[in-house]
Amino acid sequence: MILFHSPISQHSRRVVSLLEEAGIPYESKIVDMMNGEYLTASFLAINPNHQVPTLVDGDIKIHESNAILRYLCHKYDLSQWYPSDLAARAGVEQWLDWTQCRFSPTVVDIVLNKVFLQEKGDAKAIERGLEQLTELTDILEQHLKDNDFLAGSAPTIADLALASNVFHLGLAQAQPETQNINNWYGRISELKGFQTSLPKM
């Protein structure tokens, strides 16, 4: 199994976190995002969306980080990371989608423009992102008041997905600083797999 990924990609880090936490053997292929390797013909043949992460498992090629997480959980029967109980599963799906549809675009607005594009970045997008982040931080902070993790008493793939985004906000000095989110992030930061997924700074 080969994972094409990059440590500077928030979408990649969640997959590395799970592979490492679950002790799944894989070949790591780092795609050089800063030098445009994701736009080369050889990478486009693997993923025409020119995006990491992409997983190749024999004849199966999968893009979309959350789809890769689900695939790994099914393949390796990782019910602790992706519970089969209907209510618990619904919670995981909800927070995975929330992260992808609400949180992640906000993180991209802020981090892409402020950190990666710098003077070429869109100042309006940063402003929009920071405004949106205030609302999302409140929602998350309230939810984590009574929950150690997003969907139950143990971490799931939803926590890995969100934590990789929260780390990303740190690159722009925009990480939420509220108590419940801080405590939750501290719990995720103790996971060896999450630590391994982080870029060497």
Ligand X SMILES: N[C@@H](CCC(=O)N[C@@H](CS)C(=O)NCC(=O)O)C(=O)O
3-state secondary structure of 32: coil
Residue 101 CB, nearest approach to ligand X (Å): 10
Sole window of 58-66, 75-83, 124-132, 174-182 interacting with ligand X (rule: CB under 6 A):
58-66
Q: Give the residue with the Cβ less far from ligand X, 11 or 140.
A: 11
Q: For ligand X, which residue of 65, 99, 156, 197 counts as binding (CB under 6 A)? A: 65
Closest CA to 54 of 16, 122, 5: 5
Contacts with ligand X, 105-144, as mask; x by CB under 6 A = ----------------------------------------
59-77 in b/e form (b: 16+ CB < 10 A) is eeebbbbbebbbbbbeeee
Longest dimension (CA), the chain: 48
CA count, 13 A, side-chain hemisphere, 55: 23
Q: For ligand X, which residue of 3, 17, 18, 38 counts as binding (CB under 6 A)? A: 38
CB atoms within 10 A of CB 43: 20
Q: Which residue has tokens 């995981």? A: 92
Q: Does 64 bind ligand X (CB under 6 A)?
A: yes
Q: What angle do CA 183, 131, 185 make, to 5 degrees?
A: 15
Contacts with ligand X, 138-177, as mask; x by CB under 6 A = ----------------------------------------
Q: Give the residue with the Cβ less far from ligand X, 16 or 52.
A: 52
Q: Give the residue with the Cβ less far from ligand X, 53 or 129.
A: 53
CA distance 175 to 119: 21
**Footprint on this chain of ligand X (rule: CB under 6 A):** 9-11, 38, 50-53, 64-66
